[in-house]
Every structure is written in C-alpha cells, then in structure tokens.
Amino acid sequence: MLLAALVAVGLVAVIVVIRASPPRSSGGEGPLVALLGGQIGIGQPTAVGKAMSVSGPLFVKNTSDNAVVLDRVELVGIQNVTYVGAYAVPFPLHESPFTADFTYRVPPYGRVLPGVTVAPHATAWIVVGLTPKRGRHQWTEMDLIYHDGGVTYRRHAAVAGAVCAPFNKYLGHCHAPGLETR
C-alpha cells in the first residue's frame, strides 16, 4: 500500500515537472516573411575549398510588433559543402556586403547568426557562407530558423541554388535545380 502511494506521488511529480517546463514549440513559419516575389535561382561557380557568399535577394521582414531572433539558415538538400556561417545586414543597404572576388566576409554593419535580432517591422538581408568541395552542389530552398520568446519558427524561402567547383569547369554550367538548360 505504501509502495503504491509512493509510485502515485512520483507519477504526479513527473507530470507536474513535464507541464512546468514544456519543450520549445514550433509555431510554423511565423511573423517573418521572405520578400522574394517568386522563386529565385542562384548558380555560382567558385574555387574548390574557397569560402564564398550565397544569398540572392533573401530579404526578410519582421511583420510582428515584437523583435525576433535569427538562429540559423539551412539549405535544404545540399551535401558535400562546408557551412561557414550566416549573417544579416539591415535593409535598405548602404553598400553591398559582397566583394568582387566572391569571398565570405562579414561587413562591419553585418551581424553573425545565431543571435541576430530583427526589430519589429524591420527588414534584413540574409547572407550564407559556404565552402564547396569539387562538383556541383544543389539545394531546393533556404530555411531560416528563428524564435520569438519561447516559440521557434521555420520560414521557408523559395531560393534554390547550386555552387559548383572548380570555377573554370562550371563557368556557364552551374544552374539552380529546376533551372538547368537541356
């Protein structure tokens, strides 16, 4: 009888603990909106093993009255590429975050993910750094994972792309999935 009572108290304690600290919930795509105007395709030849910037016009707007915090960017379907990182720059831009030699560098006004805050009703440009291995490496969309308080969101952006290395082999032949020439 005493053992049964202890087990019952233990179960109640476990249920209370689980209810008191729920896991972070998924809130769908949330208040961050990708300002694309349709599907975007990026195809960029580059050197093998050289870090490069990838973005296209991945502008996002926070439509909420609360600030949101950017956690990471995932390129859906890409393999054999080293993810260097991602950063956000405020929009409108005063200068391009890209350099002429296709490197990955965070400009002085850029902020590195995770932890970038996008103010209410503000817009940011997201840039991803990749280092490709030899070959053609594709993704079908960019997902931006972010949170507002205890709710995590995943915004799907219709930005497909490819990075191809080495540069000379793929110049003129590096196309985003679905945009290949036949």
- State residue 170's pLDDT score: 94
Provide the token pair at 172.
């003129």
Query: Does residue 180 register a pLDDT over 60?
Result: no
Give start and end residues of each alpha helix (H) in 22-178. Answer: 167-170
pLDDT in tens, 9-64: 333 333 233 333 333 455 689 999 999 877 788 889 999 999 998 877 789 999 99
Give start and end residues of each alpha helix (H) in 21-137. Answer: none
- The answer to whether the CB of 140 falls within 8 A of the CB of 41 is no
Global confidence as pTM: 0.77
pLDDT in tens, 117-153: 999 999 999 999 999 999 999 999 999 999 998 999 9
- CATH fold of 24-170: Immunoglobulin-like (2.60.40)
SS3 string of 130-159?
EEECCEEEEECEEEEEEEECCEEEEEEECE
